[in-house]
Structure 1
Amino acid sequence: MKAFWTYTLARFAVFAACFVIIWLLAQIWLESTAVTNIWVLLISLVVSSVISVFLLAGLRDKLALNVHERATRMTERIEESRRAEDID
């Protein structure tokens, strides 16, 4: 679970940083309205997603490995139970 939370918090931090930077730039050049804020949010989501693909690749790989290991252990336990039922 540690890998999940680390990756999730890193994604959130990248999004927050992008949002703050884009919001500050929008405040300088654009009039502050609800529509502007929605556009800032959407642009921040896209930019942070692109940045996360490259910047957080290592964390994402660790998370994928962790999920794979957990799935493998669960599959092994299920197979053990199946074999135990077949013996009885």
Structure 2
Amino acid sequence: MKAFWTYTLARFAVFGVSFGVVWLISSIWLETTRVTTLWVLLISLVVSSVISIFVLAGLRDQLAQSVQERATRMTQRVEESRRAEDID
């Protein structure tokens, strides 16, 4: 579960930084309106997604490993329960 929260917080941090940078750049050249804010949000989502693909690859691999280990443990428990039912 620690890997999930670490990755999630890192994604939020990358999005926050990209939103701040795009907002700063847009505020220099554009007037702040609701449409501008929406575009800043959409551009920030795309930019942070691309950055996350490369920068957070290690954290994503750790998360995938954690999920795989948990799935393996759950599968083993189900198989043990199934064997115990067959014995009775």
Q: What TM-score comes out, normalization by structure 1 length?
A: 0.99
| Percentage of identical aligned residues | 76
Displacement, 1:46?
0.2
Aligned to 2:85: 85
Displacement, 1:19?
0.1
Q: Which 5+ residue runs of structure 2 have no aligned equivalent?
A: none
Aligned to 2:42: 42
- Cα distance in 1 between the residues matched to 2:30 and 2:18: 17
SS at the partner of 1:11? helix
Q: Which 5+ residue runs of structure 1 have no aligned equivalent?
A: none
Displacement, 1:15?
0.2
Q: Give the AA of the match of 1:42.
A: L
Pairs aligned (count)? 88
**How big is each residue's C-alpha offset from its partner over 1:34-83, in whole Å with a ceiling of 9 and x where there is no partner?**
00000000000000000000000000000000000000000000000000
Task: Give the superposed CA RMSD.
Answer: 0.3
Runs of 4+ in structure 1 deviating by more than 4 angstroms, as ranges, are none
Aligned to 1:15: 15
